[in-house]
Amino acid sequence: MPKLPLDGIRIIDFTVVIAGPAATAKLGDMGAEVIRIESIQEIGTGARTTRAKITKEQMETSPIQRRAYPDGDPGERPWNRGAGFNAHSRNKLCMTVDLKKPEGLEILEKLVAQSDVLIENHATDYMERKGITYDWLKKIKPDIIMVRMPGWGTHGPYAYWRTFGSTAEGHIGRSALSGYQDMDSSHIPWVFPADANAGTIAAFATTAALYHRKKTGKGQMIDLALAENILNILGAPFLDYTMNGRITENPGNRHPSAAPHGTYPTKGEDRWINITVTNDAEWNGFCEAIGNPTWTQNENYASTGSRWENQDSLDEHIQSWTKEQDHFDAMHLLQSHGVPAGPVMDAGDAVRDPHLEARGYFEAVNHSEIGVHRYPGMFFKFSETPLKIRRPAPRLGEDNEYVYKELLKYSDEEYSQFEQDGHIGMDYAPHVP
C-alpha cells in the first residue's frame, strides 16, 4: 500500500458528538492511526448513538432514530450500527478502557507515551476531572500535541461553560442570521455548521502543530474555542457592525443586492430549485432559457438594482415558470445558459447523482455486523496519493487486542484481568442503558 501523509502519526481520540470526530475523520483518512478511547461502562454524549441499547419501541417515537439503523433494525449490538457514527468513524480504531478505575489512567499513560497527538472536545473541566491535562501528558511524552476544542476555550470567564455547537451559534450571533424573514427567532432552521467547521479547522491546527514539532522538536497545546472559530467565518455581517454600527438583518435565502436569488417550487412533492442571478449577463441567459416571456421585458426587471427592488413580483413570475419544470431538467436548462441553478438535493438524489458517480464519491464498505453499504467518501482528492476508506467504522472495542497486546505489551493474563475488571469488552456493561 502506498504511504499516506500521516502514516506513523498516532492520535488518541477522546472526541464525542460531531466537532471532534469531524477532525479525527480527516486525520484518519490521511493515514494517521486514530485510536478512539471509549468505555464499556458508559456511552459518552453522542459518542456512538444516543443510547446504547435502543429498542424498536423506543425507535418508533423518533423517526430520526429509525433511519439511523440499517433496515430500521437495532440488531444485537445497536451501538455498532448507528449511521452518524459509521459515517465519520471510517479509518479509525477503537479501544475500551474504564478511566474511572485507577488502573485505567495507567493504561492510558502507556498509550500516551507512544502517541503524537491527543484530541478532545469535552467541556473544559471534563478532562481535568479525569486528570488528563496538558501538564500530565507532557510529563509522559514531552513533545505531545494536545488539541482542545471546548465551546468557549480553556480560559476566560466562560471557559467552564457547557455547550453544543448549536447553542454556541446562538451566542455568537450566527443563529439570528438565518431563518424566514416573516418568522421570529424561535423558528430558526435546525441546522448548525459550527461543529463540522471546527472539526475541519482542528485538523488544520493539528497539522500546524506537527510542522512546529518538526521544526523545533516541541509539542504544544491548541486552544480552539468553538465560538471563536465560527465567529471567524461570519466576516461581512461582523464588519458591517464594527464599520457602520448596523446589525445585519436576516436575509432569508435572498441576496443583499441582487435578484432573483431564491428557492422556487418545481414539479413533484417538496421539490425545489435554487436560482441566483447577480448580473445582467446571467439575467439575459435566464430570460433566454425560459423562452423570453413578455413579463421579462418589463422595465421593473431591466437592471440588477430594479430587479432587487421588485423581487417580490419577480419571484412570482419565476415561480409560475418553475412550477411546471422538473428540478433537475430546469438545472440543466439554466446551466446551459450560464445561470447558477441547482436543485435542493436529498440523500436519494445524491446517491443517484451522475456527477458524484463519475467522481467515485461514494465508497462501498463491508462492515462485519451490517454488511456492505455505500458511504460518503473522501472530503477532497489528491492527484498523487490515493485516499480512500481503508476500513469501516470500528465496532466497540474492536481493536483492544491490537492496542493492549501489540502496542502496550500487556500479557495474555493481564488482558484477561482487564476483561474481568470491566476495561476490555465488545459489549456495554449490563447497567448501561
Partner 1 sequence: MADIPLTGYRALDLTSLYMGPFCTRMLADYGADVIKIEPVSGDPARDEGPFFHDENHPEKSGLFLHLNVNKRSMTTNIETAQGQNIIRELAKSSDIVVESFKPGYLENLGLGYEDLVKINPKIIVTSVTNFGQTGPYKNWEGTDLTLYAMGASMKTSGQEHKYPLKIAGRIASFQTGNLAATATALAIWNRELTGAPEHVDVSFFETWKGAIDRSTNDLVAYSYTNESSKRQWNPGMGIANGVFRCKDGYFHISAAGAIRFPRLMKMIGKGKDLIHPPWNNPNALNRPETLELFDSFFIPWMLEHTKTDLRNMCQEQGVLGAPINTIEDLLNDPHYIQRGYWQEIEHPETGSVKYPGFPFKLHATPNPERVRAPLLGEHTNDILQNELKYSNDEIQALQAQGVI
- 305-364: which residues touch partner 1 (CB under 8 A)? 335, 338-348, 350-351, 354-356, 358-359, 361-362
Residue with Cβ nearer partner 1 (18 or 112) = 18
Backbone angles phi, psi at 261, to 5 degrees: -160, 90
The C-alpha cell at 354 is 451522475
Which residues partner with 93 through β-bridges? 35
Region of residue 165 (phi > 0: left; psi between -120 and 50: alpha; otherwise: beta): alpha
* Cα dihedral sign, 42-115-388-224: positive
Residue with Cβ nearer partner 1 (192 or 404) = 192
Binding mask 44-73 for partner 1 (x = CB under 8 A): -x----xx-----xx--xxxxxxxxxxxx-
Should residue 37 be labelled a site residue for partner 1 when binding is judged by CB under 8 A? no
Residue with Cβ nearer partner 1 (87 or 298) = 87
Cβ count near 394 (within 10 Å)? 23
Shortest CA distance to 145 belongs to which of 224, 222, 225, 37?
A: 222
Q: What is the DSSP letter of 401?
A: I
Cβ count near 349 (within 10 Å)? 14
Looking only at the bridges linking them, the beta strands covering 341-343 and 363-367 are unpaired
Shortest CA distance to 136 belongs to which of 104, 165, 113, 102?
A: 113
Window contacting partner 1 (CB under 8 A); options: 98-106, 254-262, 403-411, 420-428: 254-262
Cβ count near 364 (within 10 Å)? 10
Residues 71-90 that bind partner 1 (CB under 8 A): 71-72, 83-84, 86-88
Residue with Cβ nearer partner 1 (338 or 422) = 338
Amino acid code (one letter) for 414: E
Residues 9-28 that bind partner 1 (CB under 8 A): 18, 21-22, 25-26
Residue with Cβ nearer partner 1 (136 or 264) = 264
In our burial notation (b when 16+ CB lie closer than 10 A, e otherwise), range 149-186 reads bbbbbbeeebbbbebbbbbbbebbbbbbebbeeeeeee
Number of residues located near partner 1, criterion CB under 8 A: 168
Should residue 150 be labelled a site residue for partner 1 when binding is judged by CB under 8 A? no
Backbone angles phi, psi at 131, to 5 degrees: 85, 10
Window contacting partner 1 (CB under 8 A); options: 104-112, 200-208, 290-298, 403-411: 200-208
* Cα dihedral sign, 82-87-93-95: negative
Residue 413, burial from CB neighbour count under 10 angstroms (0-12, 13-18, 19+): exposed
Least separation in angstroms between CB 424 and partner 1: 26
Residue with Cβ nearer partner 1 (307 or 423) = 307
Least separation in angstroms between CB 341 and partner 1: 6
For partner 1, the binding residue among 77, 105, 133, 272 (CB under 8 A) is 272
Window contacting partner 1 (CB under 8 A); options: 173-181, 287-295, 401-409, 413-421: 173-181
For partner 1, the binding residue among 131, 183, 288, 303 (CB under 8 A) is 183
407 touches 111 (CB < 8 A): yes
Should residue 141 be labelled a site residue for partner 1 when binding is judged by CB under 8 A? no
Binding mask 281-300 for partner 1 (x = CB under 8 A): -x------------------
Should residue 139 be labelled a site residue for partner 1 when binding is judged by CB under 8 A? no
How many angstroms separate the CA atoms of 67 and 151, rounded? 29
Window contacting partner 1 (CB under 8 A); options: 230-238, 297-305, 402-410, 422-430: 230-238
Residue with Cβ nearer partner 1 (276 or 400) = 276
> Cα 349 from chain centroid?
20
For partner 1, the binding residue among 102, 157, 217, 430 (CB under 8 A) is 157
How many angstroms separate the CA atoms of 117 and 206, rounded? 8
For partner 1, the binding residue among 100, 129, 139, 246 (CB under 8 A) is 246
Residues 364-403 that bind partner 1 (CB under 8 A): 370, 373-385
Least separation in angstroms between CB 368 and partner 1: 16
